C-alpha cells in the first residue's frame, strides 16, 4: 500500500473518532468502520459487521490522532502514522442531498492535510461515503469557483494540483464548500460543508506542522 492510500485509510478511522467524540476526549478510539461494506445498497438492506478482531486492527491507527483545537465546523488534528507527522483540518457536511434518496452510505468528510516529510502542504481531499462511478470526476465549488476532483473508490482529491493553493485560499474566505459526486450505482449526491472556522483550523495546522 503506498503512502497516499495508507493516509486515506488512516483518515477514515480518524474522522470517525474525531467527529464522534467530544473535544475533550482528544485521543479516544473511533468506532471501527464496517469492513467489506456495500455502501450504496438500498436502505432496507442491513450491513453485516466485521468480526471484532478485524475491527480492532482497523481502528488501531486512530490512537495517534490528537485534537489541536476545534474552530467552528473544522477541527485541527495531528497524527503520526508510521512515525511520520501529519496535520490536517477536518469537517463533515452540514447538509446532504441525494437522488435517489434513502441509499445507505458511510460518513463523508473533507480534509485539508499537510505532510512535512513529503513536502505536501494544504492538500484537499474528500471521503465521499460511496464507491464512485469509475471514470467519473466529482466536483467541488466555493462560491463561483469550481474545481474538478478525481475519484477512486470512495475518495476524491483535486484533479489539477496547480489549482490547490488557490482553492484553499478561496475556502479560507468562502462560506460553503459544495461537493457533487455520483456513486457506482448512480446515486447523485451533493454535500455542503460550512467553511466557518476553516481559516483558524488551517492556521493551527500550519503552526503545528511547519
The answer to whether residue 43 scores a pLDDT higher than 80 is no
Question: Could you please report the per-residue DSSP string of 56-123?
Answer: HHHHGGGGG-EEEEEETTEEEEEE-GGG--EEEEEE--SEEEEESS-B-----EEEEEEEGGGTEEEE
Contact 109, 154 (CB under 8 A): no
Q: Which of 87, 90, 82 is nearest to 30 (CA)?
A: 90
- Region class of 53: left (phi > 0), else alpha (psi between -120 and 50), else beta: alpha
Question: 22 pLDDT exceeds 80?
Answer: no
Residue 123 above 90 pLDDT?
yes
The better pLDDT of the pair 56, 19 is held by 19
Does the pLDDT of residue 56 top 50, yes or no? Answer: no
Q: What's the rounded mean pLDDT across residues 97-107?
A: 91
* Predicted TM-score (pTM) of this structure: 0.73
Of 64-68, 71-75, 143-147, 184-188, the poorest mean pLDDT is in 64-68
pLDDT at res. 38: 42
pLDDT for 10 equals 53
For domain 3-22+57-208, give the CATH number: 2.60.40.1880
> DSSP label at 142?
E
Cell numbers given for 130: 460511496
Which three three-digit cell numbers place residue 77? 488534528
C-alpha cell at 149: 476532483
Please give the average per-residue pLDDT across 102-124, as a whole number: 93
Q: Which of 10-19, 27-36, 98-107, 147-156 has the lowest mean pLDDT?
A: 27-36
- Residue of higher predicted confidence among 4 and 156: 156
Phi, psi of 154 (to 5 degrees): -115, 25
Check residues 36 and 165 and name the one with the higher pLDDT. 165
Residue pLDDT, tens place only, 106-115: 999 999 999 9
User: What is the structure's pLDDT at 64?
Assistant: 64
**Residue 144 to residue 23: CA distance in whole angstroms:** 33
- Hey, what's the cell of 161? 494540483
- What is the secondary structure of 121-188 as a DSSP string? EEEEEEE-SSPBPTT--EEEEETTEEEEEEEETTEEEES-GGGHHHHHHHHHH-SEEEEEEEBTT--E
Residue 11: band (very low, low, confident or very high) from pLDDT cuts 50, 70, 90? low
User: Lowest-confidence range among 23-37, 62-76, 83-97?
Assistant: 23-37
The span from the CA of 54 to the CA of 5, in Å, is: 19
Asked whether the predicted pLDDT for residue 30 surpasses 90, the reply is: no
Could you give the percent of the chain with pLDDT greater than 70? Answer: 70
Amino acid at each position: 500500500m503506498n503512502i497516499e492510500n495508507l493516509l486515506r485509510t488512516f483518515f477514515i478511522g480518524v474522522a470517525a473518532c474525531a467527529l464522534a467524540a467530544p473535544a475533550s476526549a482528544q485521543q479516544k478510539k473511533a468506532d471501527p468502520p464496517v469492513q467489506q461494506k456495500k455502501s450504496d445498497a438500498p436502505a432496507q438492506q442491513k450491513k453485516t459487521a466485521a468480526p471484532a478482531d478485524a475491527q480492532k486492527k482497523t481502528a488501531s491507527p486512530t490512537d495517534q490522532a490528537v485534537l489541536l483545537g476545534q474552530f467552528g465546523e473544522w477541527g485541527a488534528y495531528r497524527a503520526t502514522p508510521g512515525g511520520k507527522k501529519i496535520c490536517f483540518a477536518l469537517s463533515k457536511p452540514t447538509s446532504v442531498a441525494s437522488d435517489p434518496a434513502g441509499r445507505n452510505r458511510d460518513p463523508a468528510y473533507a480534509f485539508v492535510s499537510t505532510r512535512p516529510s513529503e513536502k505536501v502542504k494544504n492538500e484537499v481531499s474528500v471521503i465521499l461515503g460511496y464507491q464512485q462511478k469509475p471514470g467519473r470526476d466529482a466536483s467541488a465549488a466555493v462560491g463561483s469557483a469550481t474545481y474538478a476532483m478525481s475519484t477512486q473508490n470512495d475518495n476524491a482529491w483535486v484533479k489539477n494540483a496547480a489549482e490547490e493553493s488557490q482553492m484553499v485560499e478561496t475556502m479560507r474566505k468562502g462560506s460553503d464548500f459544495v461537493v457533487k459526486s455520483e456513486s457506482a450505482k448512480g446515486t447523485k449526491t451533493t454535500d455542503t460543508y460550512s467553511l466557518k472556522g476553516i481559516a483558524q483550523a488551517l492556521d493551527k495546522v500550519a503552526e503545528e506542522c511547519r
